[in-house]
């Protein structure tokens, strides 16, 4: 199974690449990041999602079975890049998936998406939540086999393999290790239909949580 991870040098993306190994390829925008992706055992491909056309991204998806949107503008970014990465790059990747005939699409969104930003939120956070919400809505409108995953607050603590994964869960945090493990399990499991799933640490083993999602 060939799986393309967009935003391939991200913290979740590198963990996922390590779990998937040789079947995976990570798309990175910075040539200096190619070696880190290759060190996971995955292939590394240069592709800047803010500078590439649909045709160029579709070319990177040739012969792929699934694509994962793991990119994000990141904590230091401002309003403009919340839109160009968290919204527009996901839309571009979905356009490219359709063009390349790749039906399986896992989008990393965020808890908080799907609702208006809380009153009093700062402008960058509000733009981020709107960008994630619009990226989700775009994906839901498509004829793709999509799964939208909304993790809670991400941590770099070691994964514990126990989660809550459901359309709605109480706010919480989750280690990036466990987010990557959930995505790997979602990609291996039979497709369960168009699902939006929130994810935080819980008490259900990941395999069971994915099987009963």
Ligand X SMILES: NC(=O)c1ccc[n+]([C@@H]2O[C@H](COP(=O)([O-])OP(=O)(O)OC[C@H]3O[C@@H](n4cnc5c(N)ncnc54)[C@H](OP(=O)(O)O)[C@@H]3O)[C@@H](O)[C@H]2O)c1
Q: Please, which residue, 102 or 111, has the CB nearer to ligand X? A: 111
Comparison of 75 and 120: residue with beta carbon closer to ligand X: 75
Contact window for ligand X (CB under 6 A) among 4-12, 38-46, 59-67, 159-167: 4-12
Nearest-10 crossing angle of helices 176-188, 11-20: 40
C-beta of 11 vs 18, nearer to ligand X:
11
154 contributes a contact to ligand X by CB under 6 A: yes
Strand pairing of 204-205 and 162-166? antiparallel
Over the window 114 to 153, marking each residue x when it contacts ligand X by CB under 6 A and - when it does not, the resulting string is: -------------------------------------x-x
Name residues contacting ligand X, limited to 5-44 (CB under 6 A). 7, 9-13, 29-30
Residue 21 or residue 74: which is nearer to ligand X going by CB? Answer: 74
Strand order in the sheet with 43-46: 43-46, 24-28, 3-6, 66-69, 104-108, 145-151, 195-201, 162-166, 204-205
State which residue has the least CB distance to ligand X. 10
157 binds ligand X (CB under 6 A): no
Would you call 26 helix, strand, or coil by DSSP?
strand
Residue 74 found at the interface with ligand X (CB under 6 A): yes
Residue 66, burial from CB neighbour count under 10 angstroms (0-12, 13-18, 19+): buried
CB of 18 to ligand X, least distance (A): 13
Report how many residues bind ligand X under the rule CB under 6 A.
24
Tell me whether residue 11 or residue 213 sits nearer to ligand X (CB atom): 11
> What minimum distance in Å lies between the beta carbon of 44 and ligand X?
12
**3-state secondary structure (DSSP) of residue 148:** strand
Q: Where are the beta strands (DSSP E) in the chain?
A: 3-6, 24-28, 43-46, 66-69, 104-108, 111-114, 145-151, 153-155, 162-166, 173-175, 195-201, 204-205
CA of 44: how far to CAs of 27, 84, 153, in Å? 6, 22, 27
By CB under 6 A, name the one of 3, 17, 42, 49 that touches ligand X: 49
Summarize as ranges the residues that interact with ligand X (CB under 6 A). 7, 9-13, 29-30, 48-50, 70-74, 85-86, 89, 108, 110, 151, 153-154
């Amino acid at each position: 199974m060939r799986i393309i991870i967009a935003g391939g040098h991200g913290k979740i993306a590198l963990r996922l690449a390590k779990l998937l190994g040789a079947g995976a390829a990570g798309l990175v925008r910075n040539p200096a990041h190619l070696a880190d992706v290759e060190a996971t055992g995955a292939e590394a491909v240069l592709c800047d999602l803010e500078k590439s056309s649909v045709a160029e991204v579709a070319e990177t998806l040739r012969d792929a079975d699934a694509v994962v949107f793991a990119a994000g503008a990141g904590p230091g970014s401002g309003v403009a890049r919340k839109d160009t990465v968290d919204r527009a790059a996901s839309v571009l990747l979905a356009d490219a998936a359709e063009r390349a005939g790749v039906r399986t699409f896992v989008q990393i969104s965020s808890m908080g998406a799907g609702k208006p930003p809380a009153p009093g939120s700062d402008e960058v956070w509000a733009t981020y939540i709107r960008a994630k919400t619009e990226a989700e809505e775009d994906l839901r409108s498509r004829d793709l086999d999509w799964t939208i995953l909304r993790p809670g607050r991400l941590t770099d603590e070691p994964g514990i393999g126990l989660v809550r994964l459901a359309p709605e869960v109480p706010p919480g945090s989750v280690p990036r290790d466990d987010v990557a493990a959930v995505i790997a399990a979602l990609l291996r499991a039979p497709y369960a239909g168009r699902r939006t799933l929130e994810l935080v640490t819980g008490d259900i083993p990941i395999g069971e949580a994915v099987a009963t999602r």
